[in-house]
Each structure stands twice: as C-alpha cells, then as structure tokens.
Amino acid sequence: MLLEEQRFLHEDLERLEQGIADRISDEPKHIRDRLARDHQIAQFLDRISSQSTKLLNIYRDADGSRSREIQQIGAGDPMDEFYKQLADIKNFHAKYPNEPVENLERAYRPKRGPDADLLPSIVDTMFTGEEAFGRFFDLHTCHELYLNLPNAKRLSYLQYLESFDNFTPGAAGLKRSEKMTDQYFKYVGQVALDLETFMRKTRPLENIDRVIADFDKEFDASWEKDEIADWKNEEPNNKSSGGSKQTSTAEAVWCDHCEKEFKNENVYKGHLSGKKHIRAATERAQRLQGASDDGTGAANGAHKGNTSTYRLKERAIAEREFRVKRLASAMSTERSDTRVNVERKQGMTERERQQELENLFSATATTSQPKDTEDGEDNDDEDRIYNPLKLPLAWDGKPIPFWLYKLHGLGVEFPCEICGNFVYMGRRAFDKHFNEARHIYGLKCLGITNTSLFRDITGIDEALRLWEKIQKDKRKDKVDDGSVVQMEDAEGNVMPEKVYYDLQKQGLL
C-alpha cells in the first residue's frame, strides 16, 4: 500500500510545517521556554528531512513497486481492489483491537493549558546550574584539567575565562615542546568538545556541522600555507645560533631550542653549556629526525617517517587549538556574560548565593504551575508588575531599583552610525559593543581590517578618515630600498648618499 504511505507522508509534512509555524508565531519570555521551542522546531525539521527522503524514494520507484500498484488498481475493477484493502484493514484491527490511531493534528500541536506546563521540558536536563539555560559557560572541568597540566600557570577561574583560548607561550599557553603530551591533547580536545556541545545546545536551529566544517577548511588552508602561529614547520637544518627569530634589540640573541631570548652573545654562549639547553636541544633533535647527512637510505626513510608522524601529531593539536579560538570568538557574548556573572558571584556571600538559587528554582516552578481558575483575577493582579518608569528587568523578572538605573546611566542613549544607527542604552552596553560582531562587521564593510584602533569611534566619516590617515602613515614610513642611493667611501664602507655628503662636508672621509 505504497499510495497510502505516500499520502500519509504528505499529510505528515503539512502537519509538521503547521506545527513549526504555530511555534514561530509565539515568542516566549523566559529563556528556558525559548530554548525548548527552538529544540522542538529543530526536531520537526529533522523529521521533515527524513520524511522527505522517504517520499522521494517512493516517487523514484527504484524497484517498480509503485508502478505495479497503480497498474493493479487501474487494470481491473477499482472497487474490487478497494474491498480487498478494506478487508486487510479489518483483519489487522481484529488481530490488534487496542492499536491506537495516530492523530497527526494533535501530535504536532503546541501543548497549551494548565497541564502543558507540568510536562518536563527537553532543556531541563540539558544544562548545568552554572550554565543557567545557556546564558553562561561552565568550564570548571576544563579549568581543573588545565591546572593539572605540567608547567601550567596557576590561574584562577576568572583569569582562565579571560585566556583559555590564548595558546601562545608566555600567556596562558605552554611551550611547543610542552604541548606534545597526551595529557595536553586530551585537555585541548575537551575544551573544544565542551564549546561545541554548548553551541549545539544553545543554537539548535543553526547548522553547527557546517560551521565546524568551515573552521576545518580554514585550518587546512592555513596549515598548507604554514600560517598557523606557534606551529611553523621546523626545518631539519636549523642552526642553534640566534637570528632565526626577530629579537627585541640588535644585540639580543634568540635560542631556538629553549625558545628564549638572551641580551647579548656572551650571555647566550654561557647558556649553551647549561643543563636546560642541552636537554631542550636533545628533545628537539629527537623531533627533527634525519639531521645527519651520511645516514643510509633505510635510516633516512625511517627518519622521514618519524618526522612525518610527529608532524601529524602537531597538526592534530593545532587543529583543536584553532577550533577553540574560532568557537570562543563565535560565542564572545556568552563569554563576556560569564565573566560578569563570575565576578558578581565572587562578591556575594554564601547566603546570597543560596537565596539566588532558591529564587531561580521558585521562578521556574511558578511558571510551570497551573493557575487556579476560581481566583484567576486575583492571580492576574498579583502577577502584574508595577513598572511605570519602564525600568529594565533583573534576573528575577522584577524591575531593577531606580538608583541602580541612574548609577549605570541606563537612561542615556548612545547611537552608533557604524552599527546602522543602533542605539545602546547605558555606557556599559556602549563600551561592550565595540568587541561584538555587529560593530566589527560594520567596520569590515567599510574596508577596515584593524578594528582594535577604532574604539569609541561611531561615525562612518570619522572612521574612514582615520583609516585613510593610518594607511597614509604606513606608506610614508615604508622605506623603499631601491630608491635609496648608496655611496661607498675609500675604505669600502657603504652608506646612504645624504650621510656620505654630510661626512664629506665635515672632512671626516
């Protein structure tokens, strides 16, 4: 009965579309209800995709069963086929008398009424208490893994939130040689997994797989061009002397093995005989297998294989670090809100924290409790919030105090022309928006790439003039070596033409 299955699939698709439309037309106020709605819509979209695939397979009719059924109906008497299928249906229900009939209209209709709020939501067990239904990060597990890493800095949880995506040595990151451990590989993978899981839970209607695929493509392109910072490909014939990296001064010497800068050549030579340098040089020599020139062919092949395997491990670690950076930048709003929330909780006493949790649970419970129909008017009067000044609502759903409203300057408007004349209420929101995606995207539309220099600039003309001045100063400061005339004195010293004539006038040549 392929035709009946085909009709059922068409009806199911229509009911699913209607169910999605009913949920989109309703905008819940609580973040828990919004996430539950979005997850239901995501489930409906997945079902639409699977049902459409089944329907397309029926229409393609690869085995010819649909054509045979249509031919069987049209060849003979249609009523005979009808009564035959009717008899099959009666036999089925006689064999299974308690088989329920699926009502698609009721299945996809939004649950309303007092009993609907008592049903458990899909997001109730999805988030931890620290995440507050997707408002904040919960990276305590990753923080503990980081503190257990060898040679890791002892950062507090608030400091860790500031720099968990900064993997450069000297910040929160470790040296390149210290990262080549299974413990660090597990740590970076856990951070990437937690961030990806959080994004999937908070953004169910986005195609997260495509976002991750774009991150992987960007990483592959940068890795092929050897543009990943701190993971440059090391050549086997690198020397141990300084000069392979730009130093702070002309006299300074850089040690590739220890990844450290020394003030001058004498200090560097004294460092060469130290235990740390010898151990670092030995470890690097083991990584860069194949430095010997007189090895046999088989040995050289083995060395190349070891180097290739080591490079693959470096690639795996660098890929996870790159993914953590991109995921953290994509969720910068949640990250900043998490820092503010952690700072706020650090200034609270234990009693205040417990009171906040009780208020949160009681607010969630009151939204899920059915209202009494007998005294509905009294409940409406109690639930109505008196807010004549239109003050912003706090986390408990009540207006903030007026003195706090004046303290933070939430009544002052700050328009930004770069953001499309969007108005920000309060200085804090205005200062915060310079690091958000809306403002950065507006600057990129103007052709401005270095966005860090344009803080507190909201006008388009002002931003364009500043960018033009920066570009002009860069072109002015850039020295073209081909345009400088070089002169040579009798002793073979080469110098610019201006210096040569100045020395000649002074009689120093």
Residue type, 215: F
Identify the CA nearest to 137 among candidates 161, 108, 169. Answer: 161
CA distance 242 to 196: 41
- For residue 297, pLDDT beyond 50: no
CA distance 286 to 465: 53
Q: pLDDT band at residue 377, thresholds of 50, 70 and 90?
A: very low
The torsion defined by the Cα of 70, 75, 77 and 82, in degrees rounded to 10, comes to: -20
- For residue 364, pLDDT beyond 60: no
Q: Are 305 and 313 in contact (CB under 8 A)?
A: no
- For residue 380, pLDDT beyond 50: no
Q: pLDDT band at residue 151, thresholds of 50, 70 and 90?
A: confident
Tokens of 174: 């470790």
Q: Are 44 and 19 in contact (CB under 8 A)?
A: yes
> Per-residue pLDDT averaged across 374-391, rounded?
57
Q: Are strands 422-425 and 486-488 parallel, antiparallel or unpaired?
A: unpaired
Residue 128: partners with Cβ closer than 8 Å, 6 or more residues away:
138
> Which pLDDT value is given to residue 455?
85
Q: pLDDT band at residue 300, thresholds of 50, 70 and 90?
A: very low
Identify the CA nearest to 229 among candidates 311, 167, 181. Answer: 167
Q: pLDDT band at residue 196, thresholds of 50, 70 and 90?
A: very high
Q: Are 20 and 45 in contact (CB under 8 A)?
A: yes
- E-strand spans in 3-89? none
Residue spans per domain, the chain = 2-107, 127-238+288-292+300-369, 406-478, 482-509
CA distance 146 to 152: 7
> Per-residue pLDDT averaged across 40-65, rounded?
90
> Which pLDDT value is given to residue 178?
83
Q: Specify the range with the lowest mean pLDDT, choosing from 147-156, 277-286, 408-417.
A: 277-286
CA distance 181 to 40: 42
Query: What burial letters (b/e) apply to 227-236, b meaning 16+ CB within 10 Å?
Result: ebeebeebee
Using a 10 angstrom Cβ sphere, with 0-12 exposed, 13-18 middle and 19 or more buried, the burial of residue 327 is buried
- For residue 314, pLDDT beyond 50: yes
Instruction: Encode pLDDT of 154-178 as tens digits.
Output: 888 988 998 888 888 766 667 887 8
Cα distances (angstroms) measured from residue 441 to each of 252, 357, 436, 449, 461: 40, 38, 9, 10, 16
Query: What burial letters (b/e) apply to 152-167, b meaning 16+ CB within 10 Å?
Result: beebeeeebbeebbeb
Residue 250: partners with Cβ closer than 8 Å, 6 or more residues away:
none
SS3 category, 239: coil
Identify the CA nearest to 200 among candidates 189, 212, 191, 190. Answer: 212
pTM: 0.57
Identify the CA nearest to 345 among candidates 495, 140, 98, 154. Answer: 140
Tokens of 454: 């344009």
> Per-residue pLDDT averaged across 361-388, rounded?
52
Choice between 304 and 141, residue whose per-residue pLDDT is larger? 141
**Beta bridge partner(s), residue 254:** 261
SS3 category, 416: strand
CA distance 16 to 280: 63
CA distance 242 to 141: 40
Instruction: Encode pLDDT of 81-114 as tens digits.
Output: 788 888 888 888 888 888 777 777 777 877 775 5
Q: Are 415 and 458 in contact (CB under 8 A)?
A: yes
> Per-residue pLDDT averaged across 339-359, rounded?
78
Q: Are 322 and 212 in contact (CB under 8 A)?
A: no
Identify the CA nearest to 283 among candidates 265, 319, 257, 318. Answer: 257
CA distance 142 to 157: 10
- For residue 375, pLDDT beyond 50: no
